[in-house]
């Protein structure tokens, strides 16, 4: 079992809090739109099913979900652009910012402003991406199962690793294995509160407490931007 970074813990807490914000619907709708470009039928499009599941968990109205699917399938009026920004934070922390927006200029301007305000800056293409790898991440609730039972079930599912987080577990798997592991864990009776693809750092930087707090404030501010889908960083 691996440990989890402080940012992973904060992102988990923020996800619960952010689900209560009206702005979260924009993020979720954009995610559905992007996923729907590969097919509007969620039974045939795993990424779309994941995006819809996340929207339903946040109590997004069905009408909003349907509109987002329509945009992605080409029948909606607004085009959503997907982008990945690379950046540096204080002490050279590597940051990846996933964006889905109907205004690339607005998104870029807000990201640059937020980075500048908190001691960060944009990096060139490929400058930090090599420090990360795409992974599948599943958040599960164990119910009445013991930690030993959870560990055995996760191993049996074919996942790569896991870490305990509050009353839940974060399960990490190869991106290509996300659907299989999710189905296996569901079949074993686990409640899945989230499943997604994420950028996982290959190594974590160790920072002093003061610098760590500065970086987390920057990451949280970036994550709060409506056009930002997710933020990843190589901090411990």
DSSP 3-state of 212: helix
Q: Is 144 inside any structural domain?
A: yes
Query: Is 159 inside a domain boundary?
Result: yes
Residue 154 lies in a domain: yes
pLDDT tens by residue, 180-210: 999 999 999 999 988 999 999 999 898 999 9
Output the DSSP codes for 5-74.
Answer: -HHHHHHHHHHHHHTTSTTHHHHHHHHHHHHHTT-S-TTT-HHHHHHHHHHHHTT--HHHHHHHHHHHTT
For 30: left if phi > 0, alpha if psi spans -120 to 50, otherwise beta; the answer is alpha
pLDDT category at 167 given cuts 50, 70, 90 is confident
Residue 77 lies in a domain: no
Q: In sequence order, which residues have a C-beta less than 8 Å from that of residue 9 and are 6 or more positions away?
A: 165, 166
Structure tokens at 122: 């944009």
Domain count, the chain: 1
Q: How confident is the model at residue 119 (pLDDT cuts 50, 70, 90)?
A: very high
Mean pLDDT, the chain, whole residue set: 89
Residue 160 sits in a domain of what CATH number? 3.30.70.980
Q: What does residue 60 show for φ and ψ, rounded to 5 degrees? A: -70, 135
Residue 51 vs residue 13, higher pLDDT: 51
Is 142 inside any structural domain? yes
In a domain, residue 57? The reply is no
Estimate the crossing angle of helix 209-223 against helix 6-18, to 10 degrees: 30
């Amino acid at each position: 079992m691996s440990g989890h970074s402080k940012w992973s813990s904060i992102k988990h807490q923020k996800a619960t809090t952010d689900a209560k914000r009206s702005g979260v619907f924009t993020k979720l709708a954009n995610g559905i739109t992007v996923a729907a470009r590969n097919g509007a039928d969620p039974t045939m499009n795993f990424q779309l099913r994941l995006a819809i599941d996340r929207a339903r968990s946040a109590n997004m109205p069905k009408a909003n979900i349907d509109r987002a699917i329509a945009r992605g399938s080409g029948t909606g009026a607004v085009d959503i652009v997907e982008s990945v920004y690379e950046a540096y934070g204080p002490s050279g922390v590597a940051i990846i910012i996933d964006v889905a927006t109907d205004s690339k200029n607005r998104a870029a301007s807000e990201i640059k402003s937020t980075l500048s305000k908190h001691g960060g800056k944009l990096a060139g293409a490929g400058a930090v991406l090599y420090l990360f790898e795409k992974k599948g991440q599943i958040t599960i609730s164990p119910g009445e199962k013991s930690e030993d039972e959870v560990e055995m079930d996760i191993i049996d599912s074919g996942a790569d690793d896991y870490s305990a987080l509050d009353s839940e577990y974060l399960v990490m798997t190869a991106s290509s294995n996300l659907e299989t592991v999710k189905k296996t864990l569901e079949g074993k009776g686990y409640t899945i509160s989230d499943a997604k693809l994420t950028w996982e750092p290959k190594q974590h930087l160790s920072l002093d407490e003061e610098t760590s707090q500065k970086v987390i404030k920057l990451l949280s501010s970036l994550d709060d931007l409506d056009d930002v889908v997710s933020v990843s960083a190589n901090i411990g």
